[in-house]
Structure 1
Amino acid sequence: MSDGPRYRRVLLKLSGEKFADDDNSISPQIVNSIAAQLVEVAGRGVEIGVSVGGGNIFRGTSPQAAGMDRSSADNMGMLATVINALSLQDAIEKQGVDTRVLSAIGMQEVAEPYIRRRAIRHLQKGRVVIFAAGLGAPYFTTDTAAAQRALEIGAEAILKGTGVDGVYDRDPHGAPEATRYSDLTYLDVLSHGLKVMDATAISLCMDNRLPIIVFELLREGNIWRVVDGQPIGTIVHAGPESASAEGELTG
């Protein structure tokens, strides 16, 4: 018999691209699917925060921003994350779970300002807390913002939802022979340039021994499986010197 889920408080990192399909920058079907998983997890007593990106709408480093001042472009990207946060909030609340959007940029008519103690209190009350607008400053990625928020709220793990079932040594869509790793250390990720989160975010997690679990987001029930400690995806942690995998890192 299980004593409950492996993780009691987590932060889910969602890139903006996860909100989109081929026809829409925000797909109602995808957003509703993510919301249903979050509702399931919250309903089982897990405290869950969500950090959202905005790349489906605008990213400060995207071709759309070519020639723009970086600060202005990043500010636009942060505003895009608020749009995604509001769409996810709507979908979750229509499925019966209370949420709060906390923005690092003041916009009190649509979101609460981010205050760490307030975020923790919302989590304790069973609300899904959606973090928007990154860190409220340019030059910081949403990966770094997610790591920062996870540490501030005392999350036990970062869950990174992706389009594949873990971290591979190369793009599995273009290379069927790609190796999936079940287990990696932070140093493995940094030294081999694996695409998990950016170097600043990985370093933050490494310094604070905060595990990152990379998994396939849109497979029904997967968020719960990760929270429950089931062996899916890839875990990045401060484990042994070299990673174990369905192949081992070398070189």
Structure 2
Amino acid sequence: MGSLVGNSPPFPKAPASSIGVGAAKESVYFRSDAQGIHLHLPTTLAWEEVWEELVWQLRSRKSYWTGVAPLTLWCQERELELPTLQALAVLLAQHRLQLWRVQTRSRTTAIAAATLGYSVEQSSLLEVVPSPPPDTTPLYLRSTVRSGMSVRHRGSVFLLGDLNPGGEIVAGGDIWVWGRLRGLAHAGAEGDRSAVILALQLEPTQLRIADQVARPPESGSPCNTPEVVYLQDGAICIASLQEFLRRRAWAELSS
């Protein structure tokens, strides 16, 4: 990972011919902070225009970092399919910029980023202007969340694959892992104490529901035995899926 040096000079503006005349137009722009380089993509331009402007900026700028610099991609609502995101990462790598995190409000982009192994944050993003209501539609991923990856979503997250040690899933709703859960899982991250975590095999480094945190179980779960993590009387509990459903059915009959 490279280190930023000195005050970061602004990236060059695109040539006037590519900006156009008349009303102001969104453009590709970079910024930097202690976390690395940030690339912001406009939402109103056609992808061909975005790509042309990005290539121009990368070829004409002077690097103000040393080594390979980590880069966060801010896509907003722009949808990037997996091949497009792959091509973008290759272009950035040619200029010593290593894509490692993607900030997006698009489920398509979030799925592509997670599939390629990048950390993902699918949220409303920080904006000065009012933003639309947060996307709480469930996020479905078919991938492996590896060490160093972070998947964040305002709704529930359903993962068909494994959550490895060093990886994390933070969800405003439930977390379902159809595989081995061996990393950090935080369900109900925005205060939903009814959220649950379900996994085929539970070997977590940490479990959280709302504001409650639990230590990992002393022994791993039997293979292919789904288990559910839930809150009861302010404490995190773990039960087999069958037992959890039995208790919930009994509670509903008793109420």
- The TM-score, its normalising length taken from structure 1, stands at 0.31
Name the structure with the higher strand share. 2
Structure having the larger proportion of residues in helix? 1
Select the structure with the greater relative contact order (CA < 8 A; seq sep ≥ 6).
Answer: 1
